[in-house]
Structure 1
Amino acid sequence: MSDRSPLLWGLYEQACIGNGSGAVSLWTHPADERLSALGLRYWLDLGRRAEEAGLDLFFFGDVLGLYDTYRGSADTALEWGVELPAHDPLLHIPALAAVTDHIAFGATVSTTYEHPFAHARRFSTLDHLTAGRIAWNIVTSYLPGAAANFGLDVIAHDTRYDRGDEFLDVVYRLWEGSWEQDAFIGSKAERRFADPAKVHQIDYRGSLFQVAGPHLSVPSPQRTPVLIQAGWSPRGREFAATHAELIFVGESDPVKIREGLADIRRRAEELGRDPSQIRAVVGLNQIVAPTRIAVQQKIDDFQSYYSSEAQLAAYAGWSGIDFSAYRDDEPLAKQQTNATQIAGTKPDTPPLLAGDVRRQFSKVTAFADDRFIGTPTEVADNVERFVDESGVDGFLIHQFISPGSLDEFTELLVPELRERGLFGGFPASGTLRSRLRDDRADLLPADHPAAAVRRG
C-alpha cells in the first residue's frame, strides 16, 4: 500500500426517478425505491444512509431538457423516464443538510442558462446553510431541448466555455470582491450590521453580462463554493486548468485518465496554479455479492428489468448521435457534435459498427466496468489497482437500484476497502475546501483567478 492521500468517496445522484447513472430503466425493479423520489422522505433517508456509510460527498447531476435525439423524438425518454422528472437539486440540499452533519454536497448548474447574479446569491445561501459543505459542478449544457426551453439555439461547444469563463469572472467578483472579509459586523452593542466602506459594487461590464452589485450575501464560510468540472475535451481541459479544484472524470481507461489529468495539471501549472491541489474523482458502477454465482444471479435479475432502448435514448442524448439512423453493419464515424464530445475509434483499429453499440447496450452492465463487478475481495483489489494506475483521488458511486446498491457498497465492499486503507481517513469536519486541500484552508488560494479580485 502506497502513502497516498485518503480517498474521497461520494454518491452520484440526480433529482429524478429515471437516474441515468447506472441503468436508467431499473426504477421498475421491485426493490428500487426511486418512484418515491418525488417526495422528501426518500431523499432524507438516502442522505442519512450516505452519511452513516461514511461517504464524503452527495453529488447531484442535472439536465434542463428532454433526451430527444434517439429516433428523432423524446418518446422513448418519456416512456422510460430517462433522467425524468428533472427536479431542481438545489432545493434538495438544505433538507439534506438539516439531517446530516458531515457529508458535503455538490450540485450541477449550467453557466449557459443561468444569470451569474442570481446564481451567486443561491450558492452563497447554500454555503451558509451547509456551514461550507457546498460545491458547484460547472457545466455548459449540451441538449438542444434545453436550449429551446430558454428560447435559444444550441451554442457551439467551445463558445459555451467562453461564456462560462465570463460567467465565472462575474461570480468571482461577487463572491470575492464585493464584500471584504470583515465587512459584516452584526453587532447589537454597536447597533451596526455592516461597514458600508467595505461593501463594494462590482460594476461589471462584459460582452455578455452587465452586473452592478454589490453581492447580497455576507461572506460565506468558503466565499466561493468548491469548483467541480467534468470537461475532457481540449477546451474543457483548458477550462478545468483555469478554474477547477475537483475534476469529475468521464473516462474509464486508467491510463487515459492519468494522461488526461497530467495534461490538465500541466496546463494549470503554466497558469501559475499549484497542480497538486487539483483533485479528481471517477464514477464507479459496482455490482458486489459474496460469491461469483450470487454476482451473476444479481446481474440476471437486473437484466430482466432492463430496457436497452431507454439506455440508447440516454446515450444518444449525451453524444448527439441517433444510433437508430444506422444499420447494424454501418460504421460509426467520429463525430464532433455540440453535445458531450464522443471520440471515435483510432485510425489503426477496426471501425465501431452501430450493431456493436446496440449489442453493448443490450446488457444492463453497459456502463459498468468489469473490474468493479465481483466479490468484495475482487472489487476491492481492482479499486486499489485502478487508483494506482489512474492517479484518481476518489470515486462517485452510481447505483443500479436505490438504496440497494448503496447498502451493498456499505455492507460488502467498505470492510474490504478499509482493510486496504482505501476507505475512511478523509477529513469529516470543516468546510469541503478545507478537507480537499493540504493546507486545510477555507478560501481559494492566492494562485486561483478568483483570488485576484478578492478585497480585504
Structure 2
Amino acid sequence: MTRRIMLNGFKSGTIGHTAIGLWTHPDNRVREYRRLDYWTDIARTLERGKFDALFIADTQGIIDVYQGSTDVTLREAIGIPIIDPMLLVSAMAGATEHLGFAITASTTYEKPFDLARKFATLDLVTGGRVGWNVVTSSSRSEAENFSAVMVPHDERYRIADEFMDVAYQLWEGSWEDDAVVHDRASRVFIDPSKVHRIEHHGTYFDVPGEFIVEPTPQRTPTLYQAGSSRAGVEFAAKHAEGVFVSFPRMDMVAATVARLRDAAEVAGRPRDALKVFPLSTVVTGATDEEAQAKYDRWHRQYASPEGNLARFSALVHVDMASLDPDMPLEYVENDGIQGSLSVFTRADPTRRWTPREIGDFLSVSSMGALFVGSPTTIADQFEQWVDEAGVDGFNISDTVSGVSFPEFVDLVVPELQRRGLVWNNYEGATFREHLYGVGHARTMPDHPATRYRHA
C-alpha cells in the first residue's frame, strides 16, 4: 500500500458528543470546553501527531425525541450545552501552523451571503486552513429556533444545492484573481472592472450583488459532507471533497465507499475525487490486554446506554423509548438522518438489532468503527481498512477528552509513521493540499465551483 493515511480529529463544542456518559470518567477534561486553552491544547496535540484536520460537529437545536422530553438530554449533557465552533477556529489556528479545521454549518436556515463571508474571513486569516462540513438541519427544535417549519428530507438537499451554487459564485466568480491592486501611487486599491455582481435569482435565494471579501488562499473552503441517504450521496458526489461515513463494520464501509465513488463518476468527477473517512473510536494501550481492559472499564462503569439511545432517537426521528426494547428495529421513511437508521436495519444483513442492543452498542463507539488494541494492532487494522474498504483516512473521536487524542498521538502515530503510513512533516500550505497534494489549493477542475472562475 502506497497511499498516505489521513487523520482527522472529531470533536464538538459540547459535553456529550459520541460516547454519551463518558463525561463521568474522572480523567475526562471535557468540562474545560469553556476555556480557550482547552481548544488550543487540542489543536497543538493534533498538530504534533501530524493530523490533517480537526473536524468540529455542531447543531443548533436540542435533542427532544426520546420520551418526548429533554430530561435525559439534559441529565447526560447530550449535545447541550454547545458553543459555536466557528468562533473557536481563529484561536486554534493561531496556536498552530498546519492543522486544518473543518467546521459544521447548515444550509437549511443560514443565509448564503453571510455564511460565505464567515468562511472567507477564516480562510483569509488562517492562510487557507479552513473546511466546511456541509449539513442540512433535520430536527424540529432547530426549525423552531429559526422561526421556521421543518423542511422535508429531499427538499433540504435541493436547498443545499442552490446554496452551494450561490456560495461558489461569491467565492469564485465575484472577484477576479488580480482584482486587488494595492497601488498607492495611483490610489487604486481594487480594480473596479474586476469585481462583479453575481446576479443570482433562484428558487430559494436571491443574491444579486458583489461579494465583500477579497480572494482567499482556497477561495472555496475545503468541502466535507456526511449524508448517506440517496439524496445525501448525490449531493456528496457533486460537491464534497471529503466524506464522513459512520458504519461499525468494514464491509459496510466498503459498500458505501464504492457507492460514493460510483456516484462521483456519474457526476463527472474522478472516483478518487472523494476522500472517505469513517468515524472511528480508538482505545489503545501498551498491549492488547491493556487496551481491552480500558475499553471494558469505560463500557461497564461510565457509558450510558440510555443516553446513547436518546441521541440515536433524535438522529433518526424515532422515539426508541416507545418501542419494545427487545423487538427488532424496522426501517421507516421519515425526515431524520436516514443513513443512521439504515445502519441498524437495512445495512446489516447479518443480524436484526433491538433498541436495547443498539443502546449498548453505541455506548463507546457511537455508530462508527471500533479499534481496540496496542499500537501495532491498531496500525494493522488501519492498513486493512485502507486496503480492503478503500478509505482514505479516519475520523477519530475524542472519546475521553484529554486521554484519547494524546494516547493516539503518543502511541499509535509513531507506529503509523514507522510504516510510512502517516507523514512525518506537513506538505503544502492549505487544507485542500492535505487532500490533493501540493499545488492544489483551489478546487479541482472537475468540481462545480471551478466553473465560476475567471479565465
TM-score, normalised by the number of residues in structure 1: 0.94
Instruction: Check the 8 A contact 2:427/2:433 in 1, yes or no.
Output: no
Using the TM superposition, give the Cα deviation of residue 348 of structure 1 relative to its aligned residue in structure 2, in angstroms.
Answer: 7.2
Partner of 2:358: 357
Q: Secondary structure at the match of 1:55?
A: coil
Q: Secondary structure at the match of 1:81?
A: coil
Residue 401 to residue 127, structure 1, CA distance change in 2 (3 Å): same
Q: Secondary structure at the match of 1:272?
A: coil
Instruction: Check the 8 A contact 2:264/2:273 in 1, yes or no.
Output: no
- Tell me how many residue pairs correspond in the alignment: 450
Work out whether 1:265 is the aligned partner of 2:261: yes
Instruction: Check the 8 A contact 1:112/1:160 in 2, yes or no.
Output: yes
Partner of 1:304: 301
Work out whether 1:391 is the aligned partner of 2:414: no
State the alpha-carbon separation in 2 of the partners of residues 94 and 260 from structure 1.
34
Instruction: Check the 8 A contact 2:50/2:424 in 1, yes or no.
Output: no
Aligned with residue 328 of structure 1, among 325, 329, 341: 325
Using the TM superposition, give the Cα deviation of residue 229 of structure 1 relative to its aligned residue in structure 2, in angstroms.
Answer: 0.9
Using the TM superposition, give the Cα deviation of residue 187 of structure 1 relative to its aligned residue in structure 2, in angstroms.
Answer: 2.2
2:13 alignment partner AA: A
Partner of 2:441: 442
Partner of 2:213: 217
Instruction: Check the 8 A contact 2:427/2:437 in 1, yes or no.
Output: no
Using the TM superposition, give the Cα deviation of residue 414 of structure 1 relative to its aligned residue in structure 2, in angstroms.
Answer: 1.5
1:179 alignment partner AA: W
Partner of 1:45: 41
State the alpha-carbon separation in 1 of the partners of residues 372 and 196 from structure 2.
54
Partner of 2:140: 144
2:330 alignment partner AA: A
Residue 95 to residue 238, structure 1, CA distance change in 2 (3 Å): same
Work out whether 1:374 is the aligned partner of 2:373: yes
Percent identity between matched residues is 38
Partner of 1:414: 413
Partner of 2:232: 236
Pick which of 408-417 and 196-205 moved more.
Answer: 408-417
Residue 80 to residue 261, structure 1, CA distance change in 2 (3 Å): same
Using the TM superposition, give the Cα deviation of residue 30 of structure 1 relative to its aligned residue in structure 2, in angstroms.
Answer: 1.4
State the alpha-carbon separation in 2 of the partners of residues 10 and 250 from structure 1.
14
Using the TM superposition, give the Cα deviation of residue 412 of structure 1 relative to its aligned residue in structure 2, in angstroms.
Answer: 1.6
Using the TM superposition, give the Cα deviation of residue 425 of structure 1 relative to its aligned residue in structure 2, in angstroms.
Answer: 5.3
Deviation string, structure 1 residues 173-216 (Cα, Å, up to 9, x no partner)? 10111111111112223321100011011121111111122000
Q: Secondary structure at the match of 1:286?
A: strand
State the alpha-carbon separation in 1 of the partners of residues 184 and 423 from structure 2.
43
Instruction: Check the 8 A contact 1:228/1:246 in 2, yes or no.
Output: yes
Using the TM superposition, give the Cα deviation of residue 43 of structure 1 relative to its aligned residue in structure 2, in angstroms.
Answer: 0.9
State the alpha-carbon separation in 2 of the partners of residues 349 and 253 from structure 1.
11
Residue 193 to residue 249, structure 1, CA distance change in 2 (3 Å): same
Q: Secondary structure at the match of 1:434?
A: helix
Instruction: Check the 8 A contact 1:286/1:368 in 2, yes or no.
Output: no
Q: Which 5+ residue runs of structure 2 have no aligned equivalent?
A: none
Pick which of 135-144 and 429-438 moved more.
Answer: 429-438
2:5 alignment partner AA: L
Instruction: Check the 8 A contact 1:272/1:447 in 2, yes or no.
Output: yes
State the alpha-carbon separation in 2 of the partners of residues 273 and 112 from structure 1.
26
Partner of 2:241: 245
Partner of 1:131: 127
Instruction: Check the 8 A contact 1:56/1:428 in 2, yes or no.
Output: no
Instruction: Check the 8 A contact 1:69/1:313 in 2, yes or no.
Output: yes
Residue 348 to residue 187, structure 1, CA distance change in 2 (3 Å): closer
Using the TM superposition, give the Cα deviation of residue 357 of structure 1 relative to its aligned residue in structure 2, in angstroms.
Answer: 2.6
Partner of 1:9: 7
Using the TM superposition, give the Cα deviation of residue 252 of structure 1 relative to its aligned residue in structure 2, in angstroms.
Answer: 3.5
Using the TM superposition, give the Cα deviation of residue 41 of structure 1 relative to its aligned residue in structure 2, in angstroms.
Answer: 1.6
Aligned-residue Cα RMSD (Å) equals: 1.9
Using the TM superposition, give the Cα deviation of residue 430 of structure 1 relative to its aligned residue in structure 2, in angstroms.
Answer: 1.4
Residue 309 to residue 3, structure 1, CA distance change in 2 (3 Å): same
Partner of 1:431: 430
State the alpha-carbon separation in 1 of the partners of residues 347 and 82 from structure 2.
36
Residue 185 to residue 305, structure 1, CA distance change in 2 (3 Å): same
State the alpha-carbon separation in 2 of the partners of residues 365 and 199 from structure 1.
49
Pick which of 338-347 and 194-203 moved more.
Answer: 338-347
Deviation string, structure 1 residues 298-330 (Cα, Å, up to 9, x no partner)? 224323122222111111111212111112333
Instruction: Check the 8 A contact 2:50/2:425 in 1, yes or no.
Output: no
Q: Secondary structure at the match of 1:408?
A: helix
Q: Which 5+ residue runs of structure 1 have no aligned equivalent?
A: none
Residue 144 to residue 295, structure 1, CA distance change in 2 (3 Å): same
Residue 359 to residue 93, structure 1, CA distance change in 2 (3 Å): closer
State the alpha-carbon separation in 1 of the partners of residues 172 and 379 from structure 2.
42
State the alpha-carbon separation in 2 of the partners of residues 232 and 310 from structure 1.
24
Residue 395 to residue 364, structure 1, CA distance change in 2 (3 Å): closer
Partner of 2:290: 294
